[in-house]
Amino acid sequence: RRLSRSGEFDRVYRDGSSHATRYLVLYTFPRQDEDREDVRLGVSVSRKVGGAVERNRVKRMLREAFWGLADRLPAGHDFVIVARAEIKDLVEKDGMPGLEANLEEALAKGRST
């Protein structure tokens, strides 16, 4: 259920669609392979967010928030979440509810286009 290879990330970036909020960019790509039912996720958090401990914390929280919304996700899609530097402020101020609201906002933008 995870994207792990750079080629998988590249395909989502290159061929998918993106939906941005102030704190993150959500890329989506509908797959055309035999595993069409699975939803897969990749997370990218740059050093601009902070040190390794902070980046890993943000990644864990993003994964948890994303899979909490799994029932609203389209089947057979790959998703990549790219955290912007400001996400650290969101995590410190609003925690998990803020991340979930931001992800829902990005998903809603994706559905409306």
pLDDT tens over the chain, length 113 residues: 889 888 989 999 999 999 999 999 999 998 876 556 788 999 999 999 999 999 999 999 999 999 998 888 888 889 999 999 999 999 999 999 999 999 999 988 877 65
Task: Note the pLDDT of residue 42.
Answer: 95
Task: Note the pLDDT of residue 2.
Answer: 86
CA distance 103 to 52: 22
The reported pTM is: 0.90
CA-wise closest residue to 24 among 97, 111, 101: 101
Q: Tokens standing for 35?
A: 């595993």
Torsion angles phi and psi, residue 34, rounded to 5: -70, -20
CA distance 16 to 79: 9
DSSP strands (E only) in the chain:
17-20, 24-30, 40-45, 77-83
Task: Note the pLDDT of residue 70.
Answer: 83
CA distance 74 to 53: 32
Task: Note the pLDDT of residue 35.
Answer: 56
